[in-house]
Structure formats: structure tokens, C-alpha cells
Amino acid sequence: MSAHAAPGNSPDELVVHEEESQGPVQSGRTILLKVLFAFAVGIGIYLLPTPETLPAQGHKFLALVTTVIILWVSEAIPIGVTALCAAAGLILFGIESPNRAWAPFASPAVMFVLMIIMFGVVLNEVGLANRIMSWIFKIAGTGVKRLSFVLAVGCTMLATIFHDATVTVIMIFALVPVLRAMGITPGKSNNLSKFFIILIPLAASAGGFGTLLGGGRNPLAVEILAKYTNGAVNVGFMEYLIIQFPLSIFTALATWAVVYMIFRPKEKELPAAVRIEKMPPMRGKELGVTIIFTLTFILWTFSDLTGWHVSVVAALALAGFCGPKFISFKTICDKFPWESWIVFGAGVSLGASMLNSGAGKYLAEVCLPLLQGQPSFLVFYGMGFFGSFLSSMMSNSAAVALTLPITLPMAEMLNMSPQAVALLAPITTSFIMLVIGCPPTIIAYSTGYFSQVDFIKVAVPWCLVLLGVAVVGVMFYWPMIGFY
């Protein structure tokens, strides 16, 4: 048996998503109680007096988003349905117009995620996933501890250069056939599968801040800092790399350690049968898709020069896959995890509404001043935690744009370094606590191998630990290199 040709698992059957239950079927009474609880909490928040600095729209938003998050986490009803109801609720309660509530579902970020997940389906269908995993096995072997360590460090390092969603989609869809060859399907998920499938997106997210190429939040933080200091502090490409990249090594190690401790698998070694000793020469569909993938990565890397948005490049790549019939678009659509993608769209819609309704600004103005007078470690940690909290419900770039206009003046009042506060933001907004927080976690969730409760179980401690790692790096490493 091998990952490439497991009995009963032809390549066409190595689907990336299937409708299998991840846990016990909930009774009607359980579902009703969860729904009633979610609505009771939301109504309770709505009935509270509206604070003077919180717009009425923001008050209604906080009541709605609390209800939605409880429904998502409890999985009382299908999460895709909850996602659609979230956008409908924005319209129903007059928080957003219909156009503004639904438009984020087709935003550039959401459409990019749609296409990047389709890339994963393509990788799987043409057999490239098996070849990638074969290379990984040659480097790391089949020992669970070593393999997972190499994957964690590798994903974090790659994510400092490539988009973290790209790294995740390649690694996840390379690993899924291996799990299936071992008989581990979403319906039979165990600690081993949860460990690997959650480790990959978290490791990728932990590295997105390492260079200016890692994500939009990085150049945004540099730009805001330059404007705030009237151009006195400008951080260049190499300087940014020296400041941030070494910290990503520690976040990679911490990510592996936290996920291993929480989902420690009992298996020490993967079955030797899943290791593919020798792959046939690459040709046909596999070769064609590889060439197009390579061109796509090159165009993404030089997108600043071409001016092409990443979604444009992704769309052209799909045309390249489907035009020569390397794969049919119907196959891609049939095996696409639509529910997870809809949830991501709802997350972006709610994040935009948090900004538009004034709820985000209100939370920042209420919470961040509580840090005044606290020791430096707590101030940095508190600012970082708030950034992570916001980033769990909106894009990390939006979270950076929302918090820095408030935290930079605070830093000045507290006699802290504005550059330290500014460059801490892209780090801490990389750490999220909810599945909807970023594309890598949505991609991993789409495989069906873990529930939202599973994710929170590891994401919250992971976030808290990595915030500590980041703050220690800010307070000790940055002064050593003379950054502040």
C-alpha cells in the first residue's frame, strides 16, 4: 500500500473533502439549546445600554457577531449556513446595506482564497501532491517527530517569502493522500491527523511577518510608521529582514512545540508503506501543471513590478490548467470545499463591518488605555493580544491599519519606541484564535479533519505562547541590533 496507490483509493478518489461527520451526531435538543444560548447572549448584549462612544450600529454589530461566533464554535447548525445568516443579519439589523454586506464575499482576498484552494484540488488530482510528499519523506523520513518538525520549520520559513496560503495549500494537499492511505479519513480523524493538519497552517501563519514579501500587513506597518514619524523612520527591505526574520525561527519552534503538546500523536513512525521510494518521471498533465505553477510563483514574486494583483495571476493559472484539459473545471468545482470558503467570505464581511460600524475603534479605545502604567512587557503583550484578537475576525492588514493609529500615540505618551510598537503589529496579527482568522486555517479546515473546537483548543494557547515569544524578541533582540 502506498499513498500513491492505496487499495480502493485511486487518484480520482483521493478527494480533498467529503461529507463525513467529524464527531457525534448532535441531538435536536442539543442543537436547540445551543441556538437558544447563542441568541440569549446576543440579545443580552443588545439590551445593555449603548456606551456614549459606541455608535448604535457598532452596538448592534457586537450583539450579532457574538451570536455568530457562538454558533460557529458550537457548530449548532452548518457553519456555511451560519455564515450566510451573518451577512443577512448585517442587512436585517440595518448595520450594513445589502451591497456592503455581500460585496466582501467577492473581495480580492476572498476570490484569491477561492482560487488558491482550487490549486490544491489541481495538485491532488494530477498527482503532484504525491510527488511533493515523496520529496518531503526523502528529507525528513517517516518518523512523526522529525517529519513534523521539518514541516513546521519549513512552512514557517517558506511563508516568510511566499504567501502563507500558497505554502499551506501545497503542504496540506500533499499530506492528505498519505493520511487516506493510512485509512485516516475526516470521519475517522485522530490526534495524528489533527496534529499534522493543524500544524501546517499555524506554522505558515507564524512566518508571514518575516520579510516584506510575507504579507500585505508588513509594508503597511512600515508605511504607517514612516508617516507617523514624518519620514524620520524608514525601514528598508534588508533592514526589515534583519529585524523580523530571526524572530520567525523562534515562532516556528514554538508552533511545533505547542501543537505537539496538545495533539501529541501516539504513533512514533508512519507506516513504511506510505513512503514512495521512487516516483516515475514527470510527464503529461503533471509536467504541464508544474510548469504553470512555476510561472505563477514567478509572477506572484514580481507582482510589484508587473502591477498584477495576485488574483489575476491565479485566474490565469486556472485558465492554464483547464484550457489544455490537464483537469476539468467541473472536477475542480465538484471537489471544492464550498462551505469553508463561504465561512471565510462571511469573516471578511464581518471584519469590514467591524470597521465601518465603529465597533473596532470603540474596543481599541476602551481596551488599550488599560495598559497605561503597566510594565513594558505587559504593554507590549497587551497591544499584541489586542492585535491578535482583531486579526481573528478580520484580515491582518485591516487589524494593523486599525490598531497602529491608536497604539503609536500611546507609545509616545508612555515613552516607548514607536518603531517597536509599529513592527510588533505585523508579528502579532499573524497569530489568530479562530478558524476564520486567515486563509491558511480555512484551507486546512476545508479538509474536514478537525472541528472548530479542536482548532480553538490549540490556537488559543498557541497564540498566547507566540505573543510571549514575540514580546521577548522585541525587548531583547531588537535592542541588541540597535533597532531601538
Contact 346, 107 (CB under 8 A): no
For the chain, what is the largest distance between any 2 Cα atoms, rounded to a whole number of angstroms? 68
The DSSP code sequence of 235-248 is: --HHHHHHHHHHHH
Cβ(157)–Cβ(252) below 8 Å: yes
Residue, of 111 and 14, whose pLDDT is higher: 111
C-alpha–C-alpha distance, residues 395 and 429, integer Å: 9
* Residues 197, 175: Cα–Cα separation, whole Å: 8
Listing DSSP states for 291-311 in one string gives HHHHHHHHHHHTHHHH---HH
pLDDT for res 197: 94
DSSP-derived secondary structure letter, 183 = T
Q: How many CA atoms within 13 Å lie on the side-chain side of 249?
A: 7
- For 250, other C-beta atoms within 10 Å of its C-beta total 17
How many other C-beta atoms lie within 10 A of the C-beta of residue 118?
A: 23
- How high is the mean pLDDT of the chain? 84
Interatomic CA distance for residues 117 and 387, integer angstroms: 26
pTM above 0.75, yes or no: yes
Other C-beta atoms closer than 10 Å to the C-beta of 27 total 9
Strands of 329-385 (E only): list them: none
- Distance from first CA to last CA of the chain, Å, rounded? 57
Per-residue model confidence as pLDDT tens digits over 157-185? 888 877 787 788 888 888 888 888 888 98
Residues facing 143 on adjacent strands? 269
Whether 466 and 227 have beta carbons less than 8 Å apart is answered as: no
Q: How far apart are CA 332 and CA 184, in angstroms?
A: 23
Distances (CA, A) of 330 to 79, 132, 336: 24, 25, 10
Evaluate if residue 109 carries a pLDDT over 80. no
Separation of alpha carbons 285 and 291, rounded Å: 10
Integer Cα distance of 379 and 360 in angstroms:
19
pLDDT score recorded for residue 73: 79
Q: Which pLDDT belongs to residue 281?
A: 81
User: What phi, psi does 411 have (nearest 5°)?
Assistant: -60, -40
pLDDT score at 58? 92
pLDDT tens-digit map of 307-355: 888 788 889 999 999 998 889 999 999 888 787 788 878 877 887 888 7
